[in-house]
Amino acid sequence: MASEPNQSRSDLVARLGLGPATVSTQVRRLIDMGILREGAAQILGSGRPRVPLEVVPDAGRVVGVGINPGQATVATVGLDGAALEVTTVEVSTNSPRELSRALGRHVRRLVEQDAAADWWGLSVAISGVISADATRVAISVVHGWRDLGLASMLQADSGMDTFLVNDIGALAYRELFRTGAENPADFMLVSLGYGVGMAVVRDHHILSGQKGASTEIGHVSVDPLGPPCPCGNTGCLQVLVGLGDLMKSISRSTGREAASAQDLAELAAAAPRAGAIMDRAGYWLGRAVGGACTMTGLSTVLLTGQSLPLWPALQTSFQAGLGETSPTMAIPPALQVREWDASAEAIGAASLMIARRVNL
């Protein structure tokens, strides 16, 4: 309803493939909750008037957070999934306790500024495997966390109901319901940043796998002769393509420091050694994505993430690797680059909490 507004009950029946009685029951429930409202009836013929429905965006507020090394992005989101305010908080993931306190203080200030609003809760997107009850980080290689009860810390520090989500799942959810965008029903989302993740979406549903670990393509070993990974494996995609790992590799190779993806892109264009490292990264990424496409039968691949400035340096070798591992597909993989911004994970996390709250 947020991404495709002004649909009627009959539109929803056709769109969702559900029975009229089921749709009517759920619409009535959401209207009673104050989440949906009916627009003016439209008389289009001799039948029943068409009654459009719309989300009531200010019926609730959710705080979404995306955590990356050194910084957290915080978004206040209405029930239509639109960000009302986006801010950043400098944090250190080396100390989860201090991170929780800093975020808790920030969230309390947001609530104080709009105390009359109905605040639904806090949803936090994190790179790693999240427990089934959405309260613990089972493992995050990017942040160096294992079995961390972060939700209880944040709930105590912020005073808000808190749950955790995987960052790639949050990004996929945002793509599914991005207003004004063409939203495919079936796709694979690949995100490149400090972590490397993949979400598989089938018929508008994110396939999370057992214990929510289906996004961890970054810890598939693609090069058995590659460098060791903090997860304990060797030659993982993470240590070949992860933003932090690329920064370290190129710094060692060229003697030049890079502080951002844009810095790396400039080095790749100017320094042959840096370009060679990018070629290797793109090739292994392409092979991994092609293999995943062949296994799942999905041909639409959406590429996003903090490392998008590197795409021109990765693209040629990526396509070579992709072609080598997807030759049997009836429909060859088609790649779409989706714009990324710092608020994407935070907005996606908030959208997931909204869906959870209304049991969608």
Pair (16, 100) in one structural domain: no
In a shared domain, residues 283 and 218: yes
Whether 171 and 205 map to the same domain: the answer is: no
The CATH number of residue 231's host domain is 3.30.420.40
Q: How many domains, the chain? A: 3
Domain span holding position 160:
61-175+343-359
For residue 3, tell me if it sits in a domain.
Answer: no
> Contact 316/29 with Cβ under 8 angstroms?
no
Report the alpha-carbon distance of residue 110 to residue 87 in Å, rounded: 10
| Residue 6 pLDDT | 84
Q: Which of 41, 33, 34, 32 is closest to 9 using CA atoms?
A: 41
Closest by alpha carbon to 344, among 77, 69, 5?
77
pTM of the model: 0.84
Q: Which amino acid is at 101?
A: R
349, burial (CB in 10 Å: exposed 0-12, middle 13-18, buried 19+)? buried
Please check whether residues 216 and 253 belong to one and the same domain.
yes
User: Domain for residue 2, yes or no?
Assistant: no
Q: How many other C-beta atoms are found inside a 10 Å radius of the C-beta of residue 23? A: 19
- What would the two tokens of residue 208 be? 């999370």
Asked if 206 and 348 sit in the same domain, the reply is no
Where are the strands (E) in 156-202, listed by range?
162-166, 187-192, 196-202
Cβ contact 302:336 at 8 Å: yes
Indicate whether 277 belongs to any domain. yes
Asked if residue 151 and residue 72 are part of one domain, the reply reads yes
Q: Are residues 333 and 258 in the same domain?
A: yes
Same structural domain for residues 298 and 234?
A: yes
Residue 53: what are its φ and ψ, rounded to 5°?
Answer: -120, 150
Q: Which residues contact 320 (CB under 8 A, 6 or more apart)?
A: 283, 286
**Is the CB of residue 63 less than 8 Å from the CB of residue 75?**
yes
| Residue 13 covered by a domain | yes
Q: Would residue 325 count as lying in a domain?
A: yes
Along the 360 residues of the chain, how does pLDDT read in single tens digits? 777 778 898 888 887 788 989 999 999 999 998 899 998 888 877 778 889 999 999 999 999 999 998 899 999 999 988 899 999 999 999 999 999 999 999 999 999 999 999 999 999 999 989 998 999 999 998 899 999 999 999 999 999 999 999 999 999 988 887 765 667 889 999 999 988 999 999 988 888 777 666 778 999 999 999 999 988 999 999 999 999 999 999 999 889 888 889 999 999 888 999 999 999 999 999 999 999 999 999 999 999 999 999 999 999 999 999 999 998 888 889 999 988 888 999 999 999 999 888 875
The pLDDT value recorded for residue 288 is 95
Rounded CA separation 36/286 (Å): 43
User: Which H helix or E strand runs over 283?
Assistant: helix 272-296
Say if residue 194 is in the same domain as residue 315: yes
Do 20 and 85 share a domain, yes or no? no
Is 4 among the domain residues? no
Are residues 212 and 313 part of one domain?
Answer: yes
1 falls within a domain: no
Is residue 197 a part of any domain in this protein?
Answer: yes
**What is the structure's pLDDT at 327?**
86
Same domain, 16 and 103: no
What pLDDT is stored for residue 212 in this prediction? Answer: 64
